[in-house]
Amino acid sequence: MGELILVRHGETEWSASGQHTSYTDLPLTARGKEQARGLAPLLAEFRISLVLTSPLERAVHTAELAGLTRTTRDPEMHEWDYGGYEGVSTEEIHRTRPEWNLWTDGVAGAPGHPGESPKEVGDRADRVLARVDDAFRDLADDGDIVLVAHAHFLRVLTARRLGLPPADGALFQLATGTVSRIGSEHGRPVLVSWNRMP
């Protein structure tokens, strides 16, 4: 079986400023586009058989600029829905909730928009991983599968792949425009490399 390759999209205005960004579909900054293009040599090292992206343009554009072709958008690979914290930085949240932690407390709801709990994001990640495992079984060439998505979602997905609870995604800091790898050893998922930059 091949490896699971995780790509975080390039920088956006809000990722640079630390604002929580889920459904607000901001474009890549000039630096973000440069980061995405810089991923191409790293990704050329793999035998890529399938590429899944978040439906959001910052992930789709990163894949395109990185030279990934024949991509499929997976609607469940969108970023954590931050509810009332959309566009708000952790620093701003701490002014009124100094002990707040996304990984244990989740998000504040907004009228008609409650956001997601860590468990709900974990459940989505599990469904994506189930489809990834099906795809690995169907691949005849033992190729690698690339997921292009968002920091918090990919951190939760990594925790779940390694058999950890969703909140343990807090252990895996993930920078913009990076490549990470999850492989296997003795039949168990293992982290092979993390946060690799061009």
DSSP element (H, E) containing 145: strand 144-149
* 141 has pLDDT over 90: no
66 near 37, Cβ under 8 Å?
Answer: yes
- Which CATH code, of 3.90.1150.200, 3.40.50.1240, 3.10.20.30, 1.10.10.1800, is assigned to 4-81+117-196? 3.40.50.1240
* 142 has pLDDT over 90: no
Note if 79 is an active site residue. Answer: yes
What is this structure's pTM? 0.97
- Total Cβ atoms within 10 A of residue 75: 9
98 near 65, Cβ under 8 Å?
Answer: no
Note if 9 is an active site residue. Answer: yes
Sorted by where each begins, the domain ranges of the chain are 4-81+117-196
Closest to 167 (Cα-Cα) out of 110, 106, 108:
106
pLDDT tens-digit readout, 108-130: 888 888 999 999 999 999 999 99
Catalytic residue (one of 11, 79, 86, 116): 79
Residue 178 phi/psi, 5-degree rounding, is -125, 160
The single-letter code of the amino acid at 158 is: T
Rounded Cα gap, residues 118 and 153, in angstroms: 10
Catalytic residue (one of 9, 78, 150, 152): 9
- Total Cβ atoms within 10 A of residue 136: 18
Percent of the residues in the chain that have a pLDDT greater than 90, as a whole number: 93
Rounded Cα gap, residues 196 and 101, in angstroms: 26
* 151 has pLDDT over 80: yes
91 near 182, Cβ under 8 Å?
Answer: no
Q: Which two tokens stand for residue 182?
A: 């999850």
Rounded Cα gap, residues 48 and 16, in angstroms: 29
